[in-house]
Chains A and B, each alone.
Chain A
Amino acid sequence: MLSPVEAISRVAVEVGFITCINHTWSPVKSGSVPKPAEVSVPYPAGASAPHGQARLVRPRADRREITAIFAGGAIGTLARAALAEAFPHSATEWPWPTFGVNIVAAFLVGYFVTRLQERLPLSSYRRPLLGTGLCGGLSTFSTMQVEILKMLSAHAWGLAAGYIGASIVAGYAAIHLATALVRRVRVRR
């Protein structure tokens, strides 16, 4: 049976932005990253292989990439805003909406990015759609900071410390867990 995450990502793939992959996209931001031209990725039978040579120079702002980020960001933001409106809380209450979306988005981004980097053929739109767009739009840093500021202003020191600690620990653990789950599955060849 399809896991919910897998289902979402498959639907996202079916819905749009499919077809040609004619430039490679270097997904890792830190550490040693092979240049796009050096990347060699196995394409499973049936998957669309890039036609023509990979461009040496990566286009700075590919329109499909921007569209994917916009679409993912719109959906993620809608979900986050709806939760924030549905569950209002005072400055001295645990901010469940922000905490919830942040941890869920962390798990999802860990899942998507690891799977796209290490398990699926190179794609030019999936990471922008699911990682940068959906998870980036779903999660928020600024709201968390203002919530912490309001807790500090209300002298709710313990709450502020607990919120910071729980967000960091749970966010980190969620990505670690999602990454480990993806890596447990053998590479498809």
Chain B
Amino acid sequence: MSVLIWVAVALIGGGGSVARFLVDGAISSAAGRDFPFGTMAVNISGAVILGLLTGLALGNDEALLAGTAAVGSYTTFSTWMLETQRLTEEHQYRKAVLNVVVSLVLGVAAAAAGRLIGAQL
């Protein structure tokens, strides 16, 4: 595997992270900050795209760049968990549980839908 691929992984990963920041910010300012809708929107949209890429059955380098680097960095586990933990600190247990359950259910469903679409293409 060439050095160029890894340079591309880093650059694409940086870009994916910036994209997450911008989408999160846009959704959060539109939907309010009482519930972490921004992170949820990022994660669900990322799951559908990665599902689609999985359905396309890409080659190794393509999967690394588009899947692992781009979509992988766009979505986040750490912020999702942080926001959940902060909700429980504020005794908002219902929101915390909802944040975990809805993200997981929609996440797997989104990945499945994406894979189905990808397989049709």
Contact = CB atoms under 8 A, between A and B. Distances in A.
Interface of A: 28-31, 33, 60-61, 65-66, 69-78, 80-82, 84-85, 102, 105-106, 108-110, 113, 128, 131-133, 135-146, 148-149, 152, 164, 167-168, 171-172, 174-176, 179
15 contacts: A29-B83, A33-B33, A74-B13, A77-B68, A78-B10, A102-B78, A109-B82, A131-B79, A132-B21, A135-B76, A137-B13, A146-B50, A149-B108, A172-B84, A179-B85
B79 A109 contact: yes
A171 B111 contact: no
A109 B81 CA distance: 9
Given A29-B28, A171-B77, A73 B83 contact: no
A30 B34 contact: yes
B100 interface: yes
Contacts of A146: 47, 50-51, 54, 111, 115
A167 B18 CA distance: 25
Given A30-B87, A141-B43, A142-B75, A172 B21 contact: no
B17 A143 contact: no
A102 B77 contact: yes
B interface, by DSSP: helix, strand, loop or mixed?
helix
B76 A141 contact: yes
B11 A81 contact: no
Nearest to A171: B81
Contact of A135 (B49, B50, B78, B112): B78
Given A137-B16, A140-B77, A30 B36 contact: yes
Interface residues of B, number: 61
A108 B78 contact: yes
Q: Which of B10, B51, B90 has the most CB of A within 10 A?
A: B10
A137 B87 CA distance: 23
A143 to B, nearest CB: 5
A138 B78 contact: yes
B72 A143 contact: yes
B22 interface: yes
A135 B73 CA distance: 9
A172 B103 CA distance: 15
A105 B77 contact: yes
B82 A81 contact: no
A146 B72 CA distance: 11
Interface in B4-47: 6, 9-18, 20-22, 25, 28, 33-36, 38, 43, 46-47
B15 A70 contact: yes
Contact of B47 (A73, A80, A145): A145
